[in-house]
Amino acid sequence: MVYCARHFLLLATLAALLLPATARASEQFAEMNLRKPTLKVNKQGQALVEYTTEQRLRRHVLMWGAVNANHPRREVSQVRFHRDFSGGLATYKRAVWRRFPNACRRYDGPALAYFVAGCKAPDGSYWALQSWQRRLPLLGFDPWLPIQDDYELHLSHWSGPLPVLEAHVNWTYGLRSQGVFGRLSYLGQPVFGFASSNEGNPRDRYSRNVYIDTFDSVYGPGWKRESGILTHQQTGTFCHSFVPDQRPFAGYPSQTPRPSAPGSRYRISVMGPGVTPVLMWEGSGLPNFNGGDP
């Protein structure tokens, strides 16, 4: 049996949700719920991402200088993009975005979850935009603050194999609870970080939180966010059990302990290391346990 420590991401506390999130992986944009995003890439390996904000402002952002990811090493910084939110004025003293020569070809790379746009650069590498809801409240609560159901836009750039998100469903706690466990790896090496808060908030660009959703559970119909947990140091593994009597965090609408919420399906999402894409795994839940069934 696998027994999972019940540690949850404090991202869902009221205080954390009122703070802007830091881009720590496939680079996310600070503004949320972006409309009409487009992606272009020139022969020099620079990407132009354009989008419209909720305030109906059209943005033109140049991004370059990062691909794939470094393996975890304390003495080496994780890769990250250079960004010019002026569309080239800050870097080149001119509006590069107005005449940006797009050399990117049709996307023919691996299927990606939350896919918005993608293309294949002249050097054979791939760029992609993905949009997803990372900040949903935990323990099945419906969003009660505007930012909790915001969609984030992420840009990634990679060549070669993608990171691997392995996940499995099992029985835990003496066959009383369902659980999920797995591992995040890149090129055969575990993905993990070195610094986090006591509550599980990443404090370096290597750390990764795994977000676990349950479908058609006691929380209600459809997908509900159950948990967010760090991958373990040195191994990149994670595990979670759907157990009863979990007390909501301070600032939640109710402090009544939550029930066990196994679902008919489970979904696990995580930002890839470095500037690799957001990954997602989905699988079926387990049938009711029957001790007499061999």
Predicted confidence at residue 290, as pLDDT, reads 64
Burial class of residue 134 (count of CB atoms within 10 Å of its CB; 0-12, 13-18, 19+): buried
CA-to-CA dists, residue 173 to 3, 235, 238, angstroms? 6, 22, 16
CA atoms within 13 A on the CB side of 282: 8
What are the sequence ranges of the domains in the chain? 10-284
- The model's pLDDT over 110-127, given as tens digits with 9 standing for 90+, comes to 999 999 999 999 999 999
174 or 139: which leads in pLDDT? 139
The pair of three-digit structure tokens given for residue 121, joined into one six-digit string:
């650069």
Predicted confidence at residue 177, as pLDDT, reads 95
Among candidate residues 79, 76, 83, 102, the one with its CA nearest the CA of residue 29 = 83
Predicted confidence at residue 27, as pLDDT, reads 73
CA-to-CA dists, residue 257 to 63, 121, 190, 248, 249, angstroms? 45, 50, 34, 7, 10
- The secondary structure of 119-180 as a DSSP string is EE-TTS-EEEEEEE-----STTPPP-SGGGGPPEEEEEEE-SSPPEEEEEEEEETTTTEEEE
Burial class of residue 166 (count of CB atoms within 10 Å of its CB; 0-12, 13-18, 19+): middle
pLDDT above 90: residue 28: no
Q: What would the mean pLDDT of 142-169 be, rounded to a whole number?
A: 97
Q: What would the mean pLDDT of 38-63 be, rounded to a whole number?
A: 97
Among candidate residues 135, 145, 7, 127, the one with its CA nearest the CA of residue 63 = 127
pTM of the model: 0.90
Predicted confidence at residue 291, as pLDDT, reads 60
Mean residue pLDDT of the chain comes to 91
Least confident of 9-13, 21-25, 218-222, 252-256: 9-13
- The secondary structure of 68-85 as a DSSP string is S-PPP-TTSPPP--EEET
- The model's pLDDT over 81-110, given as tens digits with 9 standing for 90+, comes to 999 999 999 999 999 999 999 999 999 999
Provide the pLDDT confidence category of residue 193 given band limits of 50, 70 and 90: very high
- The model's pLDDT over 229-287, given as tens digits with 9 standing for 90+, comes to 999 999 999 999 999 999 999 999 999 999 999 999 999 999 999 999 999 999 999 99
pLDDT above 80: residue 10: no
Residue type, 130: Q
Q: What stretch of H or E contains 91?
A: helix 89-92
Share of the chain above pLDDT 70, in %: 89
The residue written with tokens 């069934």 in the block is 293
The residue written with tokens 């918005």 in the block is 116
| Contact by Cβ (8 Å): 105, 139 | no
